[in-house]
């Protein structure tokens, strides 16, 4: 290639210059507000801030109080239970529904709308609906008993040992439709020749899904996993709408702990410490995903 042709090409810095200039306000917003707010939260988590923030450093005292608080330990346990089961059931149910929808069934658009509709509702609405459904006097238990099963019991929201599973039911009802749509989009991206080749070779469908389709859908699974996991860490609305953290503190979660300490207990330092722990959890989820998608997970040419 001649030097004149090289000189005529725009440099990497000036390429798509108008688009780069247009993105400057958003970049400044991200840096100043998001990054600045994050640093501000982390710094003040090492202070004794109460009603108002103040720069009186106390070292790791807030974190020591945090990890010695029974309420925080209960919220972490609940988040772990809720997170593990939510990830497993959301991915499995979403993929199974997507596989069924991918069979070119009749009224596919209708079923897809029905499954996705709960995701259009706010978490508060979902929580209130399932609070009523799981109410032993008016909900599912009452209906089943009225049908003749007098000994039937189904009141998870009023049982401290299983209350987190009642919240999980509502979360799965709302979020599984989105997972189904993401998985269905991935399945529709699979080349039709692969399905034809597997049928010609006599490979059972379940083996085709397990050893061919699912590995090809790795980016879809990773993205879906990140979306679900980020929602798990910040779960708040469902808990407030269904139980408000009860019975007692049995259904406490980290996001509610942060809100209560920052805006009700007027203990900003403790709230900032809990927020920082949540930030670390999100970073543990996001960083590996970003590395797989944009870093070493891809072959360099």
Write out pLDDT tens, residues 47-92: 999 988 888 999 999 999 999 999 999 999 999 999 999 999 999 9
Q: What is the mean pLDDT of residues 248-259?
A: 94
Strand partners, 57: 47
The count of residues in the chain is 301
59: left (phi over 0), alpha (psi -120 to 50) or beta: left
Lowest mean pLDDT among 13-27, 72-86, 101-115, 271-285: 13-27
Q: What percent of the chain has pLDDT over 90?
A: 55
Q: What is the mean pLDDT of residues 257-280?
A: 92
Q: What CA–CA distance (Å, rounded) separates 126 from 123?
A: 5
Neighbours of 227 (CB within 10 A): 16
Among 108, 255, 101, which residue's Cα sits nearest to residue 179? 101
Per the CB < 8 A criterion, the answer to whether 283 and 38 are in contact is: no
pLDDT score, position 161: 92
Indicate the domain borders of the chain.
Answer: 1-44, 62-294
Considering 107-116, 221-230, 236-245, the range whose residues carry the highest mean pLDDT is 236-245
For 57, the 3-state DSSP assignment is strand
Lowest mean pLDDT among 17-31, 93-107, 220-234, 236-250: 17-31
Strand partners, 47: 57
Query: What's the pLDDT band for 301 if we cut at 50, 70, 90?
Result: very low
Per the CB < 8 A criterion, the answer to whether 179 and 228 are in contact is: yes
Q: Global pTM?
A: 0.85
Tokens standing for 41? 């939260």
Distances (CA, A) of 138 to 81, 132, 135, 146: 27, 7, 6, 11
pLDDT score, position 9: 59
CATH tag for 62-294 (out of 3.40.50.300, 1.10.3720.10, 1.10.150.570, 1.10.3210.50): 1.10.3720.10
């Amino acid at each position: 290639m001649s030097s004149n042709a090289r000189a005529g090409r725009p440099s990497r810095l000036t390429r798509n210059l108008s688009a780069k200039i247009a993105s400057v306000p958003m970049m400044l917003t991200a840096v100043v507000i998001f990054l600045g707010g994050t640093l501000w939260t982390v710094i003040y988590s090492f202070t004794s801030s109460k009603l108002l923030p103040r720069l009186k450093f106390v070292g790791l005292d807030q974190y020591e109080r945090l990890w010695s608080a029974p309420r925080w330990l209960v919220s972490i346990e609940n988040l772990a239970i809720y997170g593990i089961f939510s990830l497993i059931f959301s991915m499995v149910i979403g993929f199974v529904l997507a596989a069924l929808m991918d069979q070119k069934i009749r009224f596919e658009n209708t079923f897809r709308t029905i499954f996705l509709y709960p995701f259009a509702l706010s978490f508060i609405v979902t929580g209130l609906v399932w609070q009523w459904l799981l109410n032993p006097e008016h909900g599912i238990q009452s209906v089943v008993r009225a049908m003749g099963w007098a000994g039937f019991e189904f009141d998870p929201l009023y049982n401290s040992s299983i209350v987190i599973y009642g919240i999980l039911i509502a979360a799965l009802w709302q979020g599984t439709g989105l997972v189904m749509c993401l998985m269905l989009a991935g399945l529709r991206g699979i080349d039709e020749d692969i399905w034809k080749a597997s049928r010609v070779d006599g490979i059972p469908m379940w083996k085709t899904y397990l050893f061919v389709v699912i590995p090809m859908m790795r980016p879809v699974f990773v993205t879906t996993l990140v979306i679900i996991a980020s929602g798990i860490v910040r779960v708040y609305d469902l808990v407030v709408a269904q139980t408000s953290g009860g019975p007692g503190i049995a259904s406490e979660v980290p996001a509610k702990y942060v809100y209560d300490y920052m805006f009700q207990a007027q203990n900003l330092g403790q709230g900032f410490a809990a927020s920082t722990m949540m930030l670390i959890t999100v970073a543990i989820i996001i960083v590996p995903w970003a590395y797989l998608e944009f870093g070493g997970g891809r072959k360099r040419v």
